[in-house]
Structure 1
Amino acid sequence: MSGLQFPATAQDWRAQARGRLPRFLFDYLDGGAGDERTLAANVQAWGQATLRQRVLVDVSQVDTRTRLAGQDCALPLALAPVGLAGMMARRGEAQALRAASGAQVPFTLSTVGICGLNEVCAAAPAGAPPPWFQLYMLRDRGAVRALLEQAWQAGCRTLVFTVDLPLPGMRQRDVRNGMAHRGARAALLRASQLLARPGWVWDVALRGKPLSFGSLASQVPGGRDLNAFKAWVDAQFDPSVTWQDIDWLRTQWRGRLLLKGLLDVQDARAAAAAGAEGIVVSNHGGRQLDGVAATAEVLPAIARAVGGQLEVLVDGGVRSGTDLFRALALGARGVLIGRPWVWALAAGGEAGVRQLLAAWQRELLLAMTLTGVTRVADIGPEQLDRVSSQIRP
């Protein structure tokens, strides 16, 4: 009966996405590294910040608008880059870009998105800002330069550079579903999961072709084959990357640079010294190293250390507009959300993402109203009644 209900929360969208996606795709999206302790901690940690309710304050003119990375936004939120999002719904990244544009929030295209830069940019309504673009440091620096130029020519002016992936994390759900294996047994396992979702096969696998990696079409030989693509990507992760490579990147990119994947104050200070305009406090959604701190736990110290020099954003476990409010109160300028928008996309397409964002904006407005705040810029620690000792003061 859950499929007949109207989704009201991120978890509702998750339940509907689970019923539509083949298991290996749902688990790829939903899962984390190791025993998934950090994945769970990301969600739970936001609840440790208790809001301070205030009354009899004039809240007749509450405004959720702000600016992120120089872009006007209806609320302090951007859609995070999610690899393979175009396999969760037909031409998924293009649908998500349209939804984000309609909601007046930024959309970030992953390097390993199914839809390429040109297709996503073409999907934007007239006059809408271009997407942000996410990139990894690849061994092939020529490929990096080519992708940067492609993004610039497509109109992108904000680069989200992921720095916490020298090697891919150990994601046990992917192993169980045969995503880390070749051969007949793995193929049969995935085929059985596909047969259990004929609606997805028809709508996405058949009507959504080509399921290739659009932005990497000129870089990856055999890019339409997931196994060939995985082999190329595994060979391209570069564990030798240091801050000197970020210095090199700064010479290659003319636009705004956000470094994503920092959890440490010292690294945040190094990002400022390297010329980044902003950072994303992130543990890759719990998908890289299980056992590291939840992002809510380290955000306040990082924001205090570099908030005057950098635009501090955060991701990881944000599941509502109230969590968004908590993130701002703990020091972030805005948040990036990943799984929630893709759950909504998988379950309801563009309309689903629009509904999710509209609900979160209403929740943020309600939190502001009942804490007596009328402007996003005024949200701070004074709007918190109590913060758990787990969140580092």
Structure 2
Amino acid sequence: MTEPDGAANRADLPGRVALNPVHRDFFAGGAGEERTLRRNEEAFAQRWIVPRVLRGAGARDLRTTLFGTDLTMPVLIAPTAFHRLAHPAGEVGTARAAAAAGTIMVLSMAATQPVEDVAATGAHLWMQVYPQPDEDFQRHVVKRAGAAGCRALVVTVDSPVLGRRERDRRHGFRDLPAGFACENMRDADGRLRDIAMDPALSWEHIDRLRASTGLPILLKGILHPQDARLAVEHGVDGLIVSNHGGRQLDGALATVDALPAVVRAVDNRIPVLLDGGVRRGADVVVALALGATAVLVGRPVIWGLAAGGPGGVRDVLETLRDELDHTLALAGARRPADLSADQVA
């Protein structure tokens, strides 16, 4: 598989060299033949920005607000598992970079450090959860996230079963090394649970979750416009157009290909975010022009963490910020809201 060497992956090479090859493939790999993994990036590469001129845009303003949280730019950190496999600083180190950059970190349910420790950094946090068939345990996880200060729940809905990840199967990678655990999977007695994928997952589960918490709920894994309409009907607060970074269904639609139809289906009723394949500031501009409120980045953050700890993550985020600012200027926009879909060809 050929992987990108874009500015958002400045830390890519040293990060990969530093990683155990088994863990490197866990982070880099996708499902099946990795067609969707590749397509996420190719779909951005096949889109072109149509700049506007003579608009007197002046200095750019990248700020955005999501569910009451003010961000310095519309770029968030996507939920990714097992940060301590990339660097000893783990999720705490990533959160410190998010706090320094003024953005949100979406903490994975499969984090190797507990939500309370990550929240202690002062970063703006959302909590990603896989809907669990044990509803008492699910309520415990949600309550714990709220008590730690998480400001929203990101519910992954594209994983009724685990994707077939050939790199992990080839390596026999199934369990974390000794001394590592999914710390947010501890029950009220401190006992570790396994993350359960639920083939029976349905809208009724989302309804019960909606009734159990006052936190905003975003669904992550939406690609079909009809699912977007149903999400609005079921009281969901936001959507993340995502195919799990190509790690679930190989052959699934690329996220930027799916974005316009989802945006039309939602019709400005709730925010639509996107992850998958974002590697450059120009990719961010394309997604924003096509209607995304913000984007999330995952693998570039992991490579930055592996190469330089919190500082490496900060470098990735600041590179994306600089590229986004520069691209906005050349596209003739002052703010992300100034972009329009007719500026993408």
Q: Same fold (TM over 0.5)?
A: yes
Of 168, 176, 179, the residue aligned with 2:170 is 176
Listed as ranges, the matches of 1:230-379 within 5 Å are 232-233=194-195, 236-379=196-339
User: Match of 1:138, as an amino acid?
Assistant: Q
Query: Deviation digits for residues 185-226 of structure 1, max 9, x if unmatched?
Result: xxxxx9xxxxxxxxxxxxxx8xxx952222123379874xxx
Residue pair 1:167, 1:237 contacting (<8 A) in 2 also: yes
Residue pair 2:228, 2:262 contacting (<8 A) in 1 also: yes
Listed as ranges, the matches of 1:1-393 within 5 Å are 9-124=7-122, 128-129=123-124, 131-180=125-174, 210-218=179-187, 223=192, 232-233=194-195, 236-384=196-344, 386=345
- Aligned-residue Cα RMSD (Å) equals 2.0
Percent identity (aligned): 40
The secondary structure found in structure 2 opposite 1:161 is: strand
The secondary structure found in structure 2 opposite 1:313 is: strand
Deviation, 1:278, is: 0.3
> In structure 2, what is the Cα distance between the partners aligned to 1:331 and 1:314?
10
Query: Deviation digits for residues 303-342 of structure 1, max 9, x if unmatched?
Result: 0110411110011110111111110011111111111111
Deviation, 1:8, is: 7.0
> In structure 2, what is the Cα distance between the partners aligned to 1:151 and 1:138?
15
Residue pair 1:39, 1:285 contacting (<8 A) in 2 also: yes
Query: Deviation digits for residues 261-301 of structure 1, max 9, x if unmatched?
Result: 01100101111111011000000000000011101111011
Deviation, 1:92, is: 1.2
> In structure 2, what is the Cα distance between the partners aligned to 1:65 and 1:324?
14
User: Match of 2:116, as an amino acid?
Assistant: N
Residue pair 1:283, 1:316 contacting (<8 A) in 2 also: yes
Partner of 1:200: none
Query: Deviation digits for residues 208-266 of structure 1, max 9, x if unmatched?
Result: x952222123379874xxxxx7xx33xx2111011011110101111111000011001
Residue pair 2:99, 2:121 contacting (<8 A) in 1 also: no
Query: Deviation digits for residues 42-101 of structure 1, max 9, x if unmatched?
Result: 011012221113444323221111112331111111101101122211131101111011
Deviation, 1:302, is: 0.8
Partner of 1:389: none
> In structure 1, what is the Cα distance between the partners aligned to 2:41 and 2:158?
20
Instruction: Label 1:246 to 1:321 Cα distance change in 2 as closer, same or farther (>3 A).
Output: same
> In structure 2, what is the Cα distance between the partners aligned to 1:59 and 1:346?
38
Query: Deviation digits for residues 94-115 of structure 1, max 9, x if unmatched?
Result: 0111101111110011011001
> In structure 2, what is the Cα distance between the partners aligned to 1:99 and 1:35?
33
The secondary structure found in structure 2 opposite 1:51 is: coil
Instruction: Label 1:8 to 1:244 Cα distance change in 2 as closer, same or farther (>3 A).
Output: closer
Deviation, 1:13, is: 2.1
Instruction: Label 1:8 to 1:268 Cα distance change in 2 as closer, same or farther (>3 A).
Output: closer
Deviation, 1:357, is: 0.8
Residue pair 1:108, 1:133 contacting (<8 A) in 2 also: yes
> In structure 2, what is the Cα distance between the partners aligned to 1:121 and 1:268?
30
Query: Deviation digits for residues 136-169 of structure 1, max 9, x if unmatched?
Result: 1112111101001101111112100100111000
Residue pair 1:10, 1:343 contacting (<8 A) in 2 also: no
Partner of 1:201: none
| Structure 1 runs (4+) greater than 4 angstroms displaced | 219-223
Residue pair 1:69, 1:311 contacting (<8 A) in 2 also: no
Instruction: Label 1:307 to 1:104 Cα distance change in 2 as closer, same or farther (>3 A).
Output: farther
Residue pair 2:27, 2:299 contacting (<8 A) in 1 also: yes
User: Match of 2:149, as an amino acid?
Assistant: G
Residue pair 1:163, 1:260 contacting (<8 A) in 2 also: yes
Is the radius of gyration larger for structure 1 or structure 2? 1
User: Match of 2:130, as an amino acid?
Assistant: Y
> In structure 1, what is the Cα distance between the partners aligned to 2:36 and 2:300?
17
Gaps of 5+ in 2: none
